[in-house]
Chain A
């Protein structure tokens, strides 16, 4: 079945440093979504990418969808303590409305 791999599992950064998490799928995706889960909270939808090579920005967050629609990345510029949490990617293949989640990357920001 479809697998979505996400790396790294954990990332420690000093406040102000950049952060990137990567997501790779074994199959071509129709779209990919990103969610953020704060410690003790529930996942919250951030964004969805649909087009090959698509790049979207939300303030300090930059999301990319690969040309082959098999990989994606989330990059945070100049991290802040409010960025702490686990970031999940979730991919879907054509014909399935059920997203397959990656294992998530937990971001720890040290002040």
Chain B
């Protein structure tokens, strides 16, 4: 069966520090991969999506970036965090050609 792993679960970082969040999917090949951010009490904002290795599309201009070095690995990064980067970050995957999303357990990021 397919599983998605996302870590860490919580992270507290100072302003200006770098960020690296990792997400891996098991049990499937060629998934579509997504990064979402959810501010407290708000909806889901799509940040990046990927249809293949090295193929990244950005939805919102910001100081975040994403990479897909392997088929089932998706990384969210920042060189310098801002206070406004705080939020709940969710990785998700879907079968190519299907719309149903499977979400990871999320990372609660607090930038202080």
Contact of B105 among A42, A99, A103 (CB under 8 A): A42
Asked if A45 meets B43 with Cβ closer than 8 Å, knowing A97-B94, A97-B97, the reply is no
| A88-B44, A101-B43, A101-B44 as given contacts; A42 in contact with B104, CB under 8 Å | yes
The answer to whether A104 touches B105 (Cβ under 8 A) is no
When the two chains form their complex, are residues B99 and A99 in contact, meaning their CB atoms are under 8 A apart?
Answer: yes
State which of B41, B49, B100, B105 has its C-beta within 8 Å of the C-beta of A98.
Answer: B49
B contact face: mostly helix, strand, loop, or mixed? loop
* C-alpha spacing A70/B71, complex, angstroms: 35
Name A50's closest neighbour in chain B (CB-CB): B99
Q: In the complex, how many residue pairs between chain A and chain B have their CB atoms under 8 Å apart?
A: 48
**Are A43's CB and B41's CB within 8 A?**
no
* B102 to chain A: closest residue by CB: A45
Partner of A88, one of B32, B43, B98, B105: B43
Number of interface residues of B (CB under 8 A): 21
Q: Verify if A31 is at the interface (C-beta below 8 Å from B).
A: yes
Contacts A88-B43, A98-B49 given; indicate if A45 touches B106 (C-beta within 8 A). Answer: no
Q: Within the assembled complex, what's the spacing in Å between the Cα atoms of A41 and B32?
A: 22
Residues of B within 8 A of A33 (CB): 99-101
Cα of A45 to Cα of B104 in the assembled complex, Å: 12
Q: Give the distance in Å from the alpha carbon of A98 to the alpha carbon of B101 in the complex.
A: 9
Partner pick for B99 among A48, A88, A103, CB 8 A cutoff? A48
CB-CB contacts below 8 Å: B4-49 with A: 32, 34, 41-44, 46, 49
